[in-house]
Homo-oligomer: A and B are copies of this chain.
Amino acid sequence: MTDLGIAIERMEQLKESIDIGYLCICAAFVLLMQVGFAFLEGGCLRYKDMQSIMLKIFMNTCVTVVIWWLVGYGIAFGNDSKEFVGSSVYIGFDMKNSKHLAEFAFQTAVASAATSIVSGGAAGRMTYIGYFILSVVFSSVIYPFCAHWGFGNGWLMKLGYHDYAGSGTIHASAGMGALMTTMLLKPRNQRFNPKYSEHFEPNNPIYITLACLSLWVCWCFFNGGSSLGIANGASVFMSRAIMNTFIAGASGALTVFFIFYLMNIDQGNKYSLVMICNGNLAGLVAITGPCDNVDAWAAFVIGILGGMMMVFANRVLFNLQIDDPVDAISIHFACGMLGANLVSWFDMDTGIVYGKGGYQFAVQMLGSFIYIGWSAIIHLITLLFIEKIGYLRVSIEEEHEGLDPATMGCCAYEMVELQQ
């Protein structure tokens, strides 16, 4: 080989190293989202159930890591371009390659985030063992197939389904899991009794704020990391994804903030910290799918549409008396479906607003409905099984006492008397 040839080969190696380094950094930021989910859900529930949801989220994170090492990563990203399921890199086998090691970390962190979304539906009344089973099924079956089809060179991807960081593949499918879970669990006791409505207000808006601002930051890498690198032209998609994540998060937050203000303009309490947080998250979920290939103005519009969708879905669920304890369904399911389908409107290459898009519109619709259908069916089977073996819902006494004191014997934080 010539000297020049050697130099070029070294540069290719350097490029790969850079992509690996970038992917590992993204992986860490996405793992940090678990802090966000824990504090978001802990803050939204009642004080007496805070620890229990955080334990569930911590548990599902660990479960996902172990399961993805065993089978999840293989199903989703076993690199052989099979239509329905990957067929290599199971149990860490064949993963000497550092690109795989880094991608494992990133994709496992993403899968952990997806699993945590489901926990929203389980909040405040599901048993730990039941939830443990559900997490195993979600991270070994439900999500890995979604990921393979849409991200891992599977059949949807081959059809042209485009969902960059997964509005449909992740948020809609996991949000559907939260919906199925909450419907089978039934609402929390007295949830829709107007006399007790105050009891179900978020107990700690400060934690929600901590969570939401942290999630916004991490979301930059959730979206930006989907480029899987920065070399070879990937940096343009990465940086556009991050810019759009900034903009849609902001426009979503402001939208919901103003909607809430206008809806309550005659009352004293027309401001809400929780609402600005929820709007932010709604915008982020909606931009997740289209983030790589839409203009900044489109990101602005998508954030607004996400915020409106969140408020709308929240009202519908409330009126249907479906208990959505941490707004997981109205944020992840509703805005996830929205985002997956907005790709076909705003994508710079294939979007309807650019005069294209008949085929893309159909394939996005197909993909998003496949995802929620698949998720709904497997969740239903799993939850019915869990119900059958008696681990679905805690007893009414435990729920009334609160899951923390009933199962852990102590509360989230206590200001014990200073004198012993």
Residues of chain A touching chain B, judged by Cβ–Cβ distance below 8 Å, are 3-4, 7-8, 10-11, 13-18, 20-25, 27-29, 31-32, 34-35, 38-39, 42, 46-48, 50-52, 54-55, 58-59, 61-63, 65-66, 69, 91-92, 95, 98, 101-102, 104-105, 108-109, 128, 190, 196, 199, 201, 203-207, 209-210, 212-214, 216-218, 220-221, 224, 230-231, 233-236, 238-240, 242-243, 246-247, 249-251, 253-254, 257, 268-273, 276-277, 280, 295-297, 300, 400-402, 405-416, 418-420
Contact = CB atoms under 8 A, between A and B. Distances in A.
Nearest to A23: B239
A84 to B, nearest CB: 25
Contact of A21 (B10, B28, B230, B418): B230
A31 to B, nearest CB: 5
B230 A412 contact: no
A30 B416 CA distance: 33
A420 B401 CA distance: 8
A268 B7 contact: no
A161 to B, nearest CB: 25
B98 A240 contact: yes
Contact of A17 (B92, B231, B271): B231
A128 B291 CA distance: 31
Contacts of A16: 235
A276 B55 contact: yes
Nearest to A270: B407
26 contacts: A11-B11, A11-B14, A14-B15, A16-B235, A17-B230, A35-B210, A35-B217, A47-B416, A51-B205, A55-B272, A62-B249, A62-B253, A62-B276, A95-B243, A98-B235, A105-B242, A109-B246, A196-B420, A203-B413, A204-B412, A204-B414, A270-B407, A273-B408, A401-B418, A411-B418, A415-B415
Q: Most chain-B Cβ atoms within 10 A of its Cβ — which of A20, A221, A280, A405?
A: A20
A400 B210 CA distance: 26
B27 A220 contact: yes
A220 B47 contact: no
A93 to B, nearest CB: 9
B92 A295 contact: yes
B101 A240 contact: yes
Contact of A243 (B101, B271, B300): B101
A109 B247 CA distance: 11
Contacts of A249: 62, 65
Most buried by B among A8, A52, A246: A246
B35 A230 contact: no
A204 to B, nearest CB: 4
B203 A416 contact: yes
Nearest to A213: B35
A22 B69 CA distance: 26
B101 A239 contact: yes
A98 B11 CA distance: 21
A20 B20 CA distance: 15
A58 B276 contact: yes
A250 B66 contact: yes
A395 B104 CA distance: 53
A27 B244 CA distance: 13
A312 B19 CA distance: 41
